[in-house]
Chain A
Amino acid sequence: MTRKMPDHYYKLLRDLQAMDFVLVELTLYLDTHPHDMAALQQYNQFASARQHLSAQFEQEFGPLKHFGQGYTRAPWQWNETPWPWQV
């Protein structure tokens, strides 16, 4: 099925990818530096900002996660394209 995603989709997706990437990097760093207070603080700050951004994304483009980790409208939104490898 062809569904042209607006530029806004790509922009918001990239914002989320950037924020989540910082969290991946901080996670691996904290795995080996569990006492670094500055890094812990930054991790929690980004985790909170990440929640807001993903909620905004999901509001517009449907759930990012399954198994009750997000909300759905009718009909069931999880099945909607595009899947990550299709965009």
Chain B
Amino acid sequence: MREEIQRIQRLMEREHYVTDRSIATAVYLALALEKPLLVEGHPGVGKTDIAKVLARATGADLIRLQCYEGLDATTALYEWNYPKQLLHIQLEQGSARPLAEREAAIFSEPFLLKRPLLQAITHEGRAPVLLIDEVDRSDEEFEAFLLEVLSDFQVTIPEIGTVRATRRPAVVLTSNRTRELSEALRRRCLYLWIDYPSLEKELHIVRAKVPGIDEALARSVTAFVQSLRRMALAKTPGVAETLDWAAALVALHAAELDAEVVRETMGCLVKDERDLRLVGAALDAGDLPAMLTPLP
């Protein structure tokens, strides 16, 4: 294995992010090839954390752009500070300065509100990590705009001119796949699909993230969640849910899992009314044996 990849894996593990080789390789290549990394996967498998941990591990600043429906270039890139401009115009009213000069004054950098994308481009010092979270929630128009920004990291502000990034930020995009992203955007990025972790990996994550958890409890919690994932639930619990649940059990001083404890705390894990009933029925029927017989 390439030493740099091992280093990335170590750095991320140090931040309590349990990686595997495919994640470490993708992150390494994204950094080395200076390409954005598109991470897709089910909710709660730790997509967003990749960017956060990467920023922490490398000591870079994290700039986050949360996408939502209706997000547009103004909110993502920059906006003029209108109230400030208005005030300035009022103050300047009596002044003898020529119009052009006055206009240049209010359309200069102090009047500019930098939104995440522009922040990432104009960031001083070390290249930041730019997290574009849940791209699938934005619409196609924004995606097209994003593509443009990501391809050369320069932005033209008509009143000021072209701003170019001195250092290319490391870009991580995440998507829950609620809609298919455009082919163009996919091709622009390196791609990483994160599946639900294996039992071993998830156990590893629980141990790393829930300090003070009893080994036996960690094992049965993980096994239980893994068996839930095999059920046809509307909202399959992710790793985030496993961790919430494990933390709740630790807080409740539960030493082991039994049907009653599970029922009381199931809200951490199953977040859909119909699913709750399904899991409840399975518990009654004893169909979830993973929790009753502790694993060796």
Asked if A pairs with B, the answer is no
Task: State the A residues within 8 Å of B (CB).
Answer: none
